[in-house]
Homo-oligomer: A and B are copies of this chain.
Amino acid sequence: MDVGLTEDQIALQETTRRFLEEQSPIGALRRLADKDESFDPAVWRQGAELGWVGLFVPEDHGGFSEGFQGVVDAAIVAEELGRVVFSGPFHAVATVAFAVAQAGSDAQKAALLPALVSGDAIAAWCLSGTGAQSGVEPGGLAVTTRGDDHVIDGIAGYVQDAAIAQHLLVTARSDAGLSQFLIPTDTPGVTILPLELVDLGRRLAHVRFEDVVIGAEALVGEAGAAAAQVERQLQVAVALQCAETVGVVDRALEFTLDYVKQRYAFGRPIGGFQALKHRLADHVTQLEGAKAAAAYAAKAIQDESPDAAIAVSVAKSQCGKWGTEIVRDCLHMHGGIGMTWEHDIHFYLRRAVSNEALWGTPAAHHERLCALAGL
**A residues at B contact (CB < 8 Å):** 273-275, 277-278
CA–CA, A300 to B277, complex, Å? Answer: 43
Residues of B within 8 A of A273 (CB): 274
Q: Of all chain B residues, which has the CB nearest A278?
A: B275
Number of copies of chain A assembled together: 2
Question: Which 6 residue pairs across A and B have the least CB separation, nearest first?
Answer: A274-B274, A275-B278, A274-B275, A273-B274, A275-B275, A275-B277
Report the minimum CB–CB distance from A125 to chain B (whole Å): 35
6 A-B pairs with CB atoms under 8 Å apart are: A273-B274, A274-B274, A274-B275, A275-B275, A275-B277, A275-B278
Report the minimum CB–CB distance from A269 to chain B (whole Å): 14
CA–CA, A275 to B278, complex, Å? Answer: 7
Report the minimum CB–CB distance from A370 to chain B (whole Å): 16
Residues of B within 8 A of A275 (CB): 274-275, 277-278
Report the minimum CB–CB distance from A96 to chain B (whole Å): 40
CA–CA, A273 to B274, complex, Å? Answer: 7
Report the minimum CB–CB distance from A156 to chain B (whole Å): 29
Residues of B within 8 A of A278 (CB): 275
Report the minimum CB–CB distance from A56 to chain B (whole Å): 43
Q: Of all chain B residues, which has the CB nearest A273?
A: B274
Report the minimum CB–CB distance from A277 to chain B (whole Å): 8
CA–CA, A277 to B275, complex, Å? Answer: 9
CA–CA, A274 to B274, complex, Å? Answer: 5
CA–CA, A315 to B275, complex, Å? Answer: 29
Residues of B within 8 A of A274 (CB): 273-275
Report the minimum CB–CB distance from A325 to chain B (whole Å): 16
Q: Of all chain B residues, which has the CB nearest A277?
A: B275
Report the minimum CB–CB distance from A266 to chain B (whole Å): 11
CA–CA, A273 to B278, complex, Å? Answer: 11
CA–CA, A274 to B273, complex, Å? Answer: 7
CA–CA, A274 to B275, complex, Å? Answer: 5
Report the minimum CB–CB distance from A299 to chain B (whole Å): 36
Q: Of all chain B residues, which has the CB nearest A281?
A: B275
Which of A273, A277, A278 neighbours the largest number of chain B CB atoms within 10 Å of its CB? A278
Q: Of all chain B residues, which has the CB nearest A272?
A: B274
Report the minimum CB–CB distance from A260 to chain B (whole Å): 14
Report the minimum CB–CB distance from A46 to chain B (whole Å): 47
CA–CA, A278 to B278, complex, Å? Answer: 11
Report the minimum CB–CB distance from A375 to chain B (whole Å): 15
Residues of B within 8 A of A277 (CB): 275
CA–CA, A277 to B278, complex, Å? Answer: 12
CA–CA, A274 to B272, complex, Å? Answer: 11
CA–CA, A277 to B274, complex, Å? Answer: 10
CA–CA, A246 to B88, complex, Å? Answer: 54
Q: Of all chain B residues, which has the CB nearest A274?
A: B274
Report the minimum CB–CB distance from A280 to chain B (whole Å): 11
CA–CA, A90 to B277, complex, Å? Answer: 46
Report the minimum CB–CB distance from A8 to chain B (whole Å): 43
CA–CA, A274 to B279, complex, Å? Answer: 11
